[in-house]
Chain A
Amino acid sequence: MDLFWKIFDFVNQPVGATHYLAVGAVLFCCGLACMIAKRNAIGVLMGIELVLNGANVNFVAFGSPALWPEAKAPLGLDGQIIALFVIVLAAAEAAVALAIALHFYHTHTTIDVEQANELHG
């Protein structure tokens, strides 16, 4: 019951950066679990997208004056600019990783990342 009231209190208070950090943490950990557990190379790629997006949520939260008392955000506009760079780099990374995955599929006729073991020492 005590825990319930604490959660209710956290949900009921005005939205601050902590709420955004919680969402970012959940996205990051789900992406990490995807990267570890999936055997499909494109599933791993989607996990990476999720991780980058969780980091982006944190950047925007630290850069948004609407989420801080007295509108003093620690990062200011820098957070949003870094978020833009992360979005662009994620797009570039997705393009290259998909090209590699397609190449792998055409040479191995499978997308299972555990079959990519030619470089084992």
Chain B
Amino acid sequence: MNWHTIFFLIGAFAACAAAVGMVFSRNMTRMAMLLVGSLGSVALLFFLAGADFVGALQLMVYVGGTLVLIIFGVMMTASGARGGLAARCMNGMLATLAGSSLLLLLLIVSGVLCPMNIDSAYCEAPVGCGGCERGDFGEGGDSAANSTNGTAVASTVDAETRAAQLVAAKRESMRENSEKPFPPTSGALGSALAGVRTDTLAGVDHEHCDAADETCHHTPGTGYMLPFEIVSVHLVVVLLAAAYLARAKKVRAEKQSTTV
């Protein structure tokens, strides 16, 4: 339990609580404020994960730009005059069913939950946990306790203590990892968007060759210049379309008023 974990728990709880509050809130303005809280907490999580530029952009674009747009939309549509629109019973049941079942599925796949009776592959090797062994989530804790008591068979005791030591070493490595200062990522991100990958230039490309192969070092990855240009053009088109839609309604309203 270090400061990294404490701040992560605060941010994660705030993000999840605000998101759950959004589902049950009927007031649109309150929903927008809860969305601000959720997105801001997620920006804190991004900072904690070492993604400083993405966190800053999340705060500037999402919380500063998109949310202002949405709050203006809430104000201009005035749904609160007749009270909030209540969800239909059928839709509420469907939302509860789909949300909870999908949440259960996602938590099992990501390795957080392990149902007792299902010996799935996800429980053997959780997706997100990298080096974590089964003992982190399943009955490993109990078997480790048994092994210290010396009640189990000697060979299984050895195997289990070795596995427990392995898990402890990996946890220690991740703990040290999280306490290291993160390098800033904005320079590497900027050059990658301009088409040059500086992060893959140094060191070995672990994915495609083994460390002994000297010729396989220094393989620069491809950059993201074309997607960057496509997104730029896409933004221009989208903003033009939004301006056209917002303008067209006035013209049509005038036409309707003149015909009537």
Q: In the bound complex, what is the Cα–Cα distance between A7 and B101 (angstroms)? A: 20
Contacts of A10 on B, CB cut-off 8 Å?
112, 136-137
Q: Give the A-B pair count, Cβ closer than 8 A.
A: 294
Would you call B220 an interface residue if the criterion is a C-beta within 8 Å of the partner chain's C-beta atoms? no
Would you call B234 an interface residue if the criterion is a C-beta within 8 Å of the partner chain's C-beta atoms? yes
| B98/A27 in contact, CB under 8 A | no
| B137/A105 in contact, CB under 8 A | no
Contacts of A112 on B, CB cut-off 8 Å?
85
Would you call B157 an interface residue if the criterion is a C-beta within 8 Å of the partner chain's C-beta atoms? no
| B23/A37 in contact, CB under 8 A | yes
> For A14, A42, A101, which residue has the most chain B Cβ atoms within 10 angstroms?
A14
Would you call A116 an interface residue if the criterion is a C-beta within 8 Å of the partner chain's C-beta atoms? no
Q: In the bound complex, what is the Cα–Cα distance between A14 and B57 (angstroms)? A: 26
Interface string of A102-113 (1 = CB under 8 A from B): 110111000110
Contacts of B20 on A, CB cut-off 8 Å?
26, 30
Would you call B96 an interface residue if the criterion is a C-beta within 8 Å of the partner chain's C-beta atoms? yes
Contacts of A18 on B, CB cut-off 8 Å?
110-112, 126-129, 132
Would you call B154 an interface residue if the criterion is a C-beta within 8 Å of the partner chain's C-beta atoms? no
Q: In the bound complex, what is the Cα–Cα distance between A2 and B180 (angstroms)? A: 33
Contacts of A87 on B, CB cut-off 8 Å?
54, 57-58, 61-62
Would you call the interface of chain B mostly helix, strand, loop, or mixed? helix
| B51/A42 in contact, CB under 8 A | no
Closest to B12 in A: A23
Would you call the interface of chain A mostly helix, strand, loop, or mixed? helix
Q: In the bound complex, what is the Cα–Cα distance between A54 and B227 (angstroms)? A: 22
| B177/A95 in contact, CB under 8 A | no
| A50/B38 in contact, CB under 8 A | yes
| B19/A27 in contact, CB under 8 A | yes
- Checking B48, B50, B57 against A84 with a beta-carbon cut-off of 8 angstroms, the contacting residue is B57
Interface residues in B204-252 (C-beta closer than 8 Å to A): 206, 224, 227, 231, 234-235, 238-239, 241-243, 245-246, 248-249, 252
Contacts of B16 on A, CB cut-off 8 Å?
23, 26-27, 30
Q: Which 6 residue pairs across A and B have the least CB separation, nearest first? A: A18-B128, A25-B106, A21-B110, A17-B128, A30-B19, A99-B245
Chain B residues engaging chain A, CB cutoff 8 angstroms: 1-2, 4-5, 8-9, 12, 15-16, 19-20, 22-23, 28, 31-32, 35, 38-39, 42, 45-46, 48-51, 53-54, 57-58, 61-62, 65-66, 69-70, 72-74, 76-77, 79, 84-88, 91-92, 94-96, 98-100, 102-103, 106-107, 110-112, 126-132, 136-137, 141, 170-171, 173-175, 177-178, 180, 182, 185, 188-189, 192-193, 197, 199-200, 206, 224, 227, 231, 234-235, 238-239, 241-243, 245-246, 248-249, 252-253
Chain A residues engaging chain B, CB cutoff 8 angstroms: 5-6, 9-23, 25-34, 36-43, 45-47, 49-50, 53, 56-57, 60-61, 63-72, 76-77, 80-81, 83-85, 87-96, 98-103, 105-107, 111-112, 114
| A/B interface sample: 24 pairs, CB < 8 A | A15-B8, A16-B132, A21-B111, A21-B112, A26-B20, A29-B99, A30-B20, A32-B102, A37-B91, A39-B85, A40-B79, A42-B73, A49-B70, A77-B199, A83-B51, A84-B53, A88-B231, A95-B239, A96-B245, A99-B245, A102-B249, A106-B253, A111-B77, A111-B85
